[in-house]
Amino acid sequence: MYDYLWLIPFFPLVGFVINGLLGKKIRNEAIIGGIATLMIFLSFLVACGNFFTLLKDSEKVHQQVIASWMSIGNLQIDWGFLLDPLSALMIMVVTGVGTLIHLYSIGYMHGETGFYRFFAYLNLFCFSMLMLVLGNNALVMFVGWEGVGLCSYLLIGYYFDKKSAGDAAKKAFVVNRIGDFGFICGLLTLFWALGSKGVWTVNFVEIAENAHLLESGGVVVTVVTLAFFLGATGKSAQIPLFTWLPDAMEGPTPVSALIHAATMVTAGVYMIGRLNGLFAMAPDTMMTIAIVGAATALFAASIGLAQNDIKRVLAYSTVSQLGYMFMAMGVGAFSAGIFHLMTHAFFKACLFLGSGSVIHGMHHAYHKAHLHDDPQDMRNMGGLRKKMPITFITFLVSTIAISGLPFFSGFFSKDEILWWAFAGERGHWMLWLVGAIAAGMTAFYMFRLVFMTFFGEQKTDPRAKDHIPESGLTITLPLMVLGTLAAIGGFWGVPHVLGGIFGHMPNYLENFLAPVFEHTQVLNGIEIKPEMAHSKALEFGMMGVSVGIALVGILGAWFMYIKNPELPGRFVASFTGLWRAVYNKWYIDELYDAVFVNNCKRIGTFLWKGFDVRIVDGIVNGTAWVVKGVGSGLRYTQSGFLHNYAMAMVVGVVVIVGYYIFG
């Protein structure tokens, strides 16, 4: 089965080529969408084959080299793939969720002029993402890494006649490039550092085997991992590079679900998981990651509290949830981080697709009523649960999952992260506290969203009110599948302490991922603090606290948006300044513009008009003028008239001075 590994990225590439070249001629939406969906579905089948083969296999690491890519001196890079439990899990998520979202898009994008273009890009994205995940060396990963950035650019800018879409696309790519700067620096430093120990490689397996050559906790390892982490903050929208993700919501909603929630933005987490051996050797970096993750989780959640655009709430929620994953990686809870990556893919994809279903319905209604209201503004919604029952149920299930109520998927993964943050050797109670507060906020803003959208009275314009339909099967089917996964997906990774309740159910996921992470954890002493490891009461207690915090958040939302709907308005009125700061995302964009963007522009203009034109060309042209001036001056010296001398001098001075002033 492993021989067919290359087919997994290959199928979507074929889909991209077919639709990209011929899509315009095909025109038939069913065929275009069908080809694209089929291709990613085929990948899914091959991925399943590999996944289940690997599950039973005792040998957990398999590489497949297709061809040499670059070969010069001591630099040998292959086009090669790597299948191990980590990448196996990722390809399942990418192709599985990917297939559902392709299917969804057929219905959602119906009637769009660029229908073929959309599906071509979507396939190209899947190809790139699978290259990222499957690459057996850092450079092939980087191909995928930048490839998904490109697709993100193309899909955010899908409605390219809107200026905001063009701006958002460019911003996404440029901010990601700042991260890529880190990725490249990390990669090159690592290559050189290992090379100077005699191992010239960028291959992940070889890196893992030879990481011990570097000094644990040393400067080199810290610099390398910090640089890689900068790359991760770009791709995964962490502080300080998170600003592009909310703007990325300019793209069509399926894109937000696939790229900006379920897959691409988790690439940073995956990358840290892939290089776990290296990261674990740099405690300073790990601490930085944990702090940045926790801070992002809290910060983004706070912004999410005040947004009225349904997709923006979800966007900030994504940033916040990614923060959790980074916190997990930072405290060494690698499999918990990957676990949350997976459950998040389920419930967040479902939430985005659900919001898409709502927007689709609202848009339809406004279109029928010839209105131009904003179909994404939650203040125009309300009471939709009766109009869109399937969307509502799946959305509610996913909201419960993200809020961390017991036995839904998010509960298991989030709790394991919080437990490690609290009780892990590299954890700290403050990390736990920040995470717990953010969890409360998450429950609040998510239920606020649900209440504003699906409950209460319908605030849609009366003329459009009755035209809101439930979406068709291509849209609701993916919702149902993802909703189910969001509900039960967590049982794959039930923590040990809870396993007892379910008849000694083992933590399947942790066991599955153990070949990737266990060695690192043992080697670097990453474990639950011994004094806490056996205290079931403590673990249950912490669990109870975080569930309690979530319930408080939900009740708060209920109190403010169902019980006393006038309360939010009063709150805004009395805390205008605070509310405005939160609503405007703490003015981070404005800050970046003022500090970085404008200064770069200023320097660019200065160098061009000040240095190039005035100084360098000034010297060159000035020399020419002087030569000319001297020449004519010499001629006038022959005239013998004093006024000519004076005139020449005046003219010369005027010309030269004038040149420098106006030139």
Partner 1 sequence: MADYLLSLITFFPLMGMMILLFIPRDNEGLLKSFALGVTLVTFLISLPLAFDDVFAVSGGMQYREFHEWISIGSFFKMNYNIGIDGISLWLVMLTTFIMPIATLSTWKAVDKNVKGFMALLLLLETAMLGAFVSLDLFLFYIFWELMLIPMYFMIGIWGGKNRIYAAVKFFIFTAVGSLLMLVAIIYIYYYAASTGAPMEGFGVQEFYRLGIPSAAQHWLFLAFAFSFAIKVPMFPLHTWLPDAHTEAPTAGSVILAAILLKMGTYGYVRFAIPLFPEALQTYLPLLAFLSVFGIIYGSLVAMMQDDVKKLVAYSSVAHLGFVMLGIFALNMQGMAGGIIQMINHGVSTGALFLIVGFIYERRHTRQISEFGGLAHKMPIFATIFLIITFSSIGLPGTNGFVGEFLALVGAFESELRWYAVVATTGVIFAAVYMLWMFQRVMFGKVTNPENEKLKDLSVREIVIMLPLLLFVFWIGIYPNTFLSKMNPAIEQLLNQVKSKQVAVVEPVQPVIAQTLELK
Q: List residues binding partner 1 (CB under 8 A).
A: 24, 67-75, 139, 142-143, 145-147, 150, 153, 157, 160-163, 165-167, 169-170, 173-174, 177-178, 180-181, 184-185, 188-189, 191-193, 195-197, 215, 219-220, 223, 600-601, 603-605, 607-608, 611-613, 616-617, 620
DSSP designation for 457: S
Least CB distance from residue 217 to partner 1, whole Å?
A: 14
- Decide whether 52 or 160 has the Cβ nearer to partner 1: 160
Least CB distance from residue 306 to partner 1, whole Å?
A: 30
Least CB distance from residue 586 to partner 1, whole Å?
A: 24
- Decide whether 188 or 591 has the Cβ nearer to partner 1: 188
Residue 73 phi/psi, 5-degree rounding, is 55, -135
One-letter amino acid identity for 278?
A: L
- Decide whether 603 or 646 has the Cβ nearer to partner 1: 603
Least CB distance from residue 242 to partner 1, whole Å?
A: 17
- Decide whether 182 or 283 has the Cβ nearer to partner 1: 182
- Do the beta carbons of residue 432 and residue 543 sit within 8 Å? no
Interatomic CA distance for residues 93 and 268, integer angstroms: 15
Least CB distance from residue 176 to partner 1, whole Å?
A: 8
- Decide whether 220 or 538 has the Cβ nearer to partner 1: 220
Give the contacts of 429 (CB within 8 A, at least 6 positions apart): 422
Residue 208, token pair as written in the block: 């893992």
- Decide whether 215 or 284 has the Cβ nearer to partner 1: 215
Cβ burial, residue 519 (10 Å; 0-12/13-18/19+):
middle
Least CB distance from residue 602 to partner 1, whole Å?
A: 9
Interatomic CA distance for residues 500 and 562, integer angstroms: 38
Interatomic CA distance for residues 53 and 65, integer angstroms: 19
What are the start-end ranges of the H helices in 305-378?
310-330, 334-368
Interatomic CA distance for residues 556 and 444, integer angstroms: 7
- Decide whether 264 or 300 has the Cβ nearer to partner 1: 264
Interatomic CA distance for residues 479 and 346, integer angstroms: 10
Least CB distance from residue 234 to partner 1, whole Å?
A: 10
Residue 447, token pair as written in the block: 């239920």
Least CB distance from residue 172 to partner 1, whole Å?
A: 10
- Do the beta carbons of residue 231 and residue 180 sit within 8 Å? yes
Least CB distance from residue 609 to partner 1, whole Å?
A: 8
- Decide whether 61 or 184 has the Cβ nearer to partner 1: 184
- Decide whether 189 or 266 has the Cβ nearer to partner 1: 189
Buried b / exposed e across 252-281, counting CB within 10 Å, b at 16+? bbbbbbbbbbbbbbbbbbbbbbbbbbbbbb
The residue written with tokens 């009461």 in the block is 537
Q: Find the radius of gyration of the CA atoms of the chain.
A: 29
- Decide whether 153 or 445 has the Cβ nearer to partner 1: 153
Bond from prior residue into 9 cis (ω within 30 degrees of 0): no
